[in-house]
Structure 1
Amino acid sequence: MAGIQQKVDEKVNSRKVYVISKSYCPFCKQAKDILKKYTEDIGVWEIDSANDMKAIQKYLETKTGASSVPRVFINGEFIGGCDKIKSLHSSKELQKMLG
């Protein structure tokens, strides 16, 4: 698990906005589309192509409280999933966070 933890944490901290996603997930697409309105500095990891996807999701559950995707991080801090991103967008809070 230590290797997975290090890999996830390095990725999450590598960009202002980082999304752990699955390429076929409609909620992931919605979240990424909203985030792209604010910044180009978005890292995305499509874990459905990762050999260790289950271990990644297990660590995400420990780190964020859920293993579902998307898992959105801003400045290394876990923000939430699609519903949270849509809510922050609607309330203009996302603009303040990424402005």
Structure 2
Amino acid sequence: MNEQIKEITPQEVEEQLSNGKQLNIIDVRENDEVEQGMITVAKHIRMGDIPQRLNELDKGEEYIIVCRSGGRSHNTGVFMQEQGYNVINMVGGMLAWTGDIKTP
């Protein structure tokens, strides 16, 4: 079943951040991937930890889900959407990200 979720490009995310927009970004990559850098305002919750940590998230907010290339974030987004969350998948993932990053 191929669920549809909203999508956003890395360039659109970067543009919104540079315009001062407050974004809720969740990076669902594994720890070793995040060590190579993540979007500065992102929160790291590994994909496998999402079901146990949904209570940390507000269903009234919108979340941009990020992974390495866009596949895991899509799957995570579909799951979260089924749980009633408002999510957007960042297509292309961190492979396509050219903006600022932070390392933990």
Superposition TM-score tier, normalisation by shorter sequence: 0.3 to 0.5
- Greater helix share, 1 or 2? 1
TM-score, with length taken from structure 2: 0.32
Identify the structure with bigger relative contact order (alpha carbons < 8 Å, sequence gap 6+): 2
